[in-house]
Structure 1
């Protein structure tokens, strides 16, 4: 009797044990599947949130080239005006009028009290930011003035032109101080180094040149097979980023040219360093904005919301936000995740 009872118990216990183990294994599989699904949903929500946030901040805009300064954006326009926008109010607060042709560039002075602009009318103009009035008109260039920038102390302005020259101007007197001659084609851009000791220029002659401001001599020249459109110093002055019709390149330690892998497949309009120098932001004619890791030379992110060519892009002073301007008539603010 006892043996029969043991056999019967084993007969019932073994299936129950197998069923219990099977249920435990099934529960583990279901738990793992749920975890994977939750993780996937979180990623999708993050992506959707990023796109919603990026679309949220949009300002109607009709201009070409811009520069941000704290809570303001200054924009140079094809309609001969310079416009100032307040980012927090999301509206235009001032229009500066005086140029007779399209305005190519406009920038705030370091103290924010003056604006320098340049135009296809071959002039450079200084404006009072507070009153919106013209202070001085700088004349001397013989053709379209493509870029104008204040030195970091605000005492001088450097400019580039289709007349193949670069000129240095005294802000107080409005007089030309020096010419830098060497490019054989139109000069597209020029920038001061942060310490004002050097300037970098790029032109349709496919060269980038680094000049000594004091002597006016070229101390270094780099050649690429294509026209160079824009140029920008890093904050520490040790590197320069430049862009052409299809590529981005960096001059490291002002000694060697390094071409990043091809990221854009159309005209690259503008490039800029982040404040910490670790990231480059660029924009191009297909509406894309790309973030590039400087050390690795790898693309970090591609922002594709603009529907027309993006013609200006820049970092905020803390590097946490990007401002872009496009021919789709919008300015967009992008927060880094």
Structure 2
């Protein structure tokens, strides 16, 4: 998804693209403002996505959608407490997981793809065996809705965030809580590990993002800049940056080491519900209650493309590990797949 991968429609070879770039550098370097013109040329060669598949089966608003680690399946969750597993190639539902009929905020695959985690409104985390479709464990301890969760790299631990303002660590084998972080003044909407699992970021309705040291439990930085609730945040693949989205309709890029805001991305017209880095870290993908999904160039800070197709609020998205597929969920109860054309 990087800016140096160009639109397949152009059918330009890399050699020809290089010649075009060299020519523009020579011609524009003598002009004031040539960088802006050059950037526009580069953006023309970014990959563009189109809708390729629609998955229908949910009967309530969709809340979360995730790829399996091998990109062969999708897990989706809804307000009525149902998780559906989909085969991407077939475009068909292959399993339904039914537990408590409680709003599911988040759903995640384990690193080996064998377990599904669901985070529930009633404060419980459920673990499911994806092959049998049976619930294998419940993690209880939060005093309010569990809004987000993630497995550790080795698949032995889970972190969770909640409206009770805490981040909790869980040992999967025992099902016991092993650690708790506190510091936010309002509920936590989202938590994520850094790529090396040494740090955690938490996104809160108190308008801040906190970076935590996993071992010490100390807050390293408090990222301040958003003017309203922070909905989601994610580390870049190399762990050097954080991207966040908010009800203030902005996406912000942050430096992990300093905690400084580096850039803002503006264009969405309503709350931004989810945001992700592409696997190469060159593109940001966001979705919003303005019914759109947008792609942004990280370095230039500009919008590359707007994807339209959902009939109402887009609630979540994910990107396949190879960067070739975007999946989105919406209150229109439809899952959509997008690929380059």
TM over 0.5: yes
1:77 aligns with 2:78: yes
1:252: which partner in 2? Answer: 255
For residues 321-332 of structure 1, what are the structure 2 equivalents within 5 Å? 321-332=325-336
Alpha-carbon distance, 1:310 to partner: 1.0
Residue number among 229, 247, 263 corresponding to 1:227 in the alignment: 229
- For 2:117 and 2:74, locate their aligned partners in 1 and report how far apart those are by CA, in whole Å: 14
Figure out how many residues of one structure are paired with residues of the other and give that number: 287
Q: Residue 99 of structure 1 contacts residue 121 of structure 1 at CA under 8 Å; is this kept in 2?
A: no
Q: Secondary structure at the match of 2:184?
A: coil
1:45: which partner in 2? Answer: none
Q: Residue 64 of structure 1 contacts residue 77 of structure 1 at CA under 8 Å; is this kept in 2?
A: yes
Alpha-carbon distance, 1:263 to partner: 1.5
Residue number among 54, 60, 67 corresponding to 2:56 in the alignment: 60
- For 1:81 and 1:331, locate their aligned partners in 2 and report how far apart those are by CA, in whole Å: 14
- For 2:57 and 2:212, locate their aligned partners in 1 and report how far apart those are by CA, in whole Å: 36
Q: Secondary structure at the match of 1:260?
A: strand
TM-score (norm 1): 0.82
Q: Residue 54 of structure 1 contacts residue 332 of structure 1 at CA under 8 Å; is this kept in 2?
A: no
For residues 173-322 of structure 1, what are the structure 2 equivalents within 5 Å? 173-224=174-225, 225-245=227-247, 246-255=249-258, 256-322=260-326
Q: Residue 100 of structure 1 contacts residue 121 of structure 1 at CA under 8 Å; is this kept in 2?
A: no
- For 1:223 and 1:278, locate their aligned partners in 2 and report how far apart those are by CA, in whole Å: 24
- For 1:249 and 1:261, locate their aligned partners in 2 and report how far apart those are by CA, in whole Å: 6
Alpha-carbon distance, 1:102 to partner: 0.7
Gaps of 5+ in 1: 1-49
Higher helix share: 1
- For 1:180 and 1:198, locate their aligned partners in 2 and report how far apart those are by CA, in whole Å: 12
Structure with larger RCO (C-alpha < 8 A, sep 6+): 2
- For 1:56 and 1:291, locate their aligned partners in 2 and report how far apart those are by CA, in whole Å: 17
For residues 18-167 of structure 1, what are the structure 2 equivalents within 5 Å? 54-62=50-58, 63-69=62-68, 70-167=71-168
Greater C-alpha Rg:
1
Gaps of 5+ in 2: 1-46
Q: Secondary structure at the match of 1:158?
A: strand
1:336: which partner in 2? Answer: 340
Alpha-carbon distance, 1:55 to partner: 4.3
Q: Residue 114 of structure 2 contacts residue 130 of structure 2 at CA under 8 Å; is this kept in 1?
A: yes
Alpha-carbon distance, 1:259 to partner: 3.7
Q: Deviations over 1:56-88 (max 9, x none)?
A: 411114232110121111112111111111111
1:42: which partner in 2? Answer: none
